[in-house]
Chains A and B, each alone.
Chain A
Amino acid sequence: MARQDVESEVTGNVWKVLKSVGDSVAEGEVIMILESMKMEIPVESPASGTLSQVLVEPEEQVEEDQVVAVIES
């Protein structure tokens, strides 16, 4: 199984986490929504697989390129 990091493209806050650990996700599916500069920034899965880790919680601040979740594909 390949492990793939899901990274945030922006500095901002976690608004909503839409998927839970164990959920299967398709490539391009939205895992969570970040909020930065009053914009909703969806974080999409880079691959199809199973969501094995969610590393952030709502309200938490994230930096650009920070790993926010992990997919096992």
Chain B
Amino acid sequence: MTQPEQQTSSQPRAIRKILIANRGAIARRIVRACNELGLESVVVHTSVDAHAPYIDEASEAHALRGLRPADSYLDQEQLLGIARTSGADAVHPGYGFLSENAGFAQKVIDAGLTFIGPDPVWLERMGDKVNARRIMAEQGMPVFDGSDFITDLATAHEVAQTIGFPLVVKPSGGGGGMGMQVVEQMDALESALTQAQAVAAAAFGSSDVYLERWIARPRHIEYQILADEHGNAMHLYERECSIQRRHQKLIEESPAPGIDASLLREQAERGAEICARLGYNNVGTLETLYSDGSSGFLEMNTRIQVEHGVTEEVTGVDLVQQQILLAAGGRLPEPAELSGHAIEVRLYAEDSQTLMPSTGVLRIFQPPQLFGVRVETGYQQGQEVSPYYDALLAKIIAKGRTREQAIGRAVVALQAFTIQGVQTNAALLLRVLRDTAFLRGDIDTGMVARILRSGQRIPAL
């Protein structure tokens, strides 16, 4: 029996040459995907990034004017100009920078190019946290108690009475925990609200904030979603990302230890169903908090994540290649089985004890080459680590048949990674990997803060 030809609004688009509007490890990762797919790649770089390894690995490299992100990797006109002159037919935004900027995505499309990411409407809808919560809750994704936008103290008081204490005041436009204020009791609400609004206005250009129930010792669990433009979506299981410092992830792993797999599967499947129903496309991540058997949606990231490699290792699906294929109008890959365990540790140029960022020239930079270990880095020896961009030096992704094996490989890889010229957080990463509670899988988002607050010295490598 023949099925009628499926009607879709999108026709396959040829992608031959991709402008990579990013830097560092993700720029290099995208260059690699382009080379594997036989596509041309165009990288951009500022003067301090001129010696990055991917400059030579890409088909073409263009220098950017300016150093600060606003004058370089965030300068939309400059990037679109290079896309035009280089003859690129698609733009990959990576993560951070312009990856979730709906205006930029639309400009890329208006210039006749393919934006490698979801339709700009999704960047817009999910970029606003309150809106994203509302959409997902309406679709049946569980959420913890929270509020709509709060603009005045009276409303805040009212909502706080319903939600109860402790609660957290969060900027709606932001990310990375910036501007978040935990409030223990009513009389502290006013100052927290004022502070959160001030940071939100300064950092995100909008003073919109909202209130949410504060979950003590939660775990951060996120679900990887893939969606095509033909109405299909699937999940690639979960990532456990509770090990964080300053609300930013430090260690991620998959599968999540110590949580009932059927609950995780149910959440992942529900997330994929919702994305299919909504008509979401390309890749996305549903971030949730997990506590005592219940789960609440936090936000959706409409881009590839820093920690995508963890999922690639346990499913065998190449997420960056998939992004490109899906953006070209392709269909979902075959469902993938979970196999083994993968853990990523983020090596940052920052002090293990104080977390202060550290800049300098990488006099020695020798990543390990070991069985079961993958290193993603945008740096090489002799290169400068500048204060202009984030402190990520390298991601070490270790895979094993079991969690214990993966952790053991991550430990050995950290010890074998030789870096001189900047301080790194390797000692802190090792401290966590050797923590007895961590090894038991007894983890939560406050773990690193507790280790640092305890006053004990982080042992040297």
Q: Measured between alpha carbons, how far is A17 from B388 in the docked complex, in Å?
A: 19
Tell whether A53 is near chain B: CB-to-CB under 8 Å. no
Q: Please, how many angstroms separate the alpha-carbon atoms of A70 and B202 in the complex? A: 25
- In whole Å, how far is A44's beta carbon from the nearest beta carbon of chain B? 12
Judged by a CB distance under 8 angstroms, whether A12 is at the interface is: yes
User: Interface digits, A7-25 against B, CB 8 Å rule (1 contact, 0 not)?
Assistant: 0011111001000000000
Interface residues of B, CB < 8 Å — how many? Answer: 17
Interface SS, A side: strand
Contact partner of B387 (CB less than 8 A), chosen from A13, A16, A40, is A13
The answer for the CA separation of A55 and B173 in the assembled complex, in Å, is 32
- A1–chain B nearest beta-carbon distance, Å: 30
A13 to B69, CA, bound (A): 12
Given the complex of chains A and B, what is the CA–CA distance between A37 and B68 in angstroms? Answer: 11
CB distance from A7 to the nearest CB of B (A): 12
Determine whether B357 belongs to the interface, using a CB cutoff of 8 Å to chain A.
yes
C-alpha gap A36/B351 in the complex (Å):
13
CB-CB contacts of A32-66 with B at 8 A, as 1s and 0s? 00001111110000000000000000000100000
Which parts of B282-336 form the interface with A (CB within 8 Å)? none
Q: How large is the interface on A (under 10, 10 to 19, 20 to 34, 35 or more residues)?
A: 10 to 19
Q: How many CB-defined contacts (below 8 Å) exist between A and B?
A: 38
Cross-chain contact of A16 among B202, B349, B356 (Cβ < 8 A): B202
User: What is the distance, in angstroms, from B196's C-beta to the closest C-beta of chain A?
Assistant: 14
**A16-B202, A37-B391 known; A10-B357 Cβ under 8 A:** yes
- Given the interface pairs A16-B202, A39-B246, the reply to whether A11 lies near B356 with Cβ below 8 Å is no
A10 touches B356 (CB 8 A): yes
A11: contacting residue among B178, B202, B350, B359, CB under 8 A: B359
In the bound assembly, the distance between CA atoms of A40 and B248 in angstroms comes to: 12
Residues of A within 8 A of B356 (CB): 9-10, 41
Contact of B391 among A9, A38, A61 (CB under 8 A): A38
A9 to B357, CA, bound (A): 9
Most A CB contacts (10 A, CB to CB) among B246, B388, B390, B391 go to: B388
A12 to B355, CA, bound (A): 15
Q: How far is the CB of A36 from chain B (nearest CB, A)?
A: 5
Instruction: For the complex, give the distance between the alpha carbons of A41 and B358 in Å.
Output: 12
Question: Cβ of B202 and Cβ of A10 under 8 Å apart?
Answer: no
Q: Which residue of A lies closest to B69 (CB)?
A: A38
Inter-chain CA distance A36–B354, complex, in Å, is 14
Per CB-CB distance, the 3 closest pairs between chain A and chain B, nearest first, are A37-B391, A37-B357, A38-B390
Could you give 5 example pairs across A and B, Cβ below 8 Å? A9-B354, A10-B387, A37-B388, A37-B390, A41-B356
Q: Which A residues have a C-beta under 8 Å from some C-beta of B? A: 9-13, 16, 36-41, 61
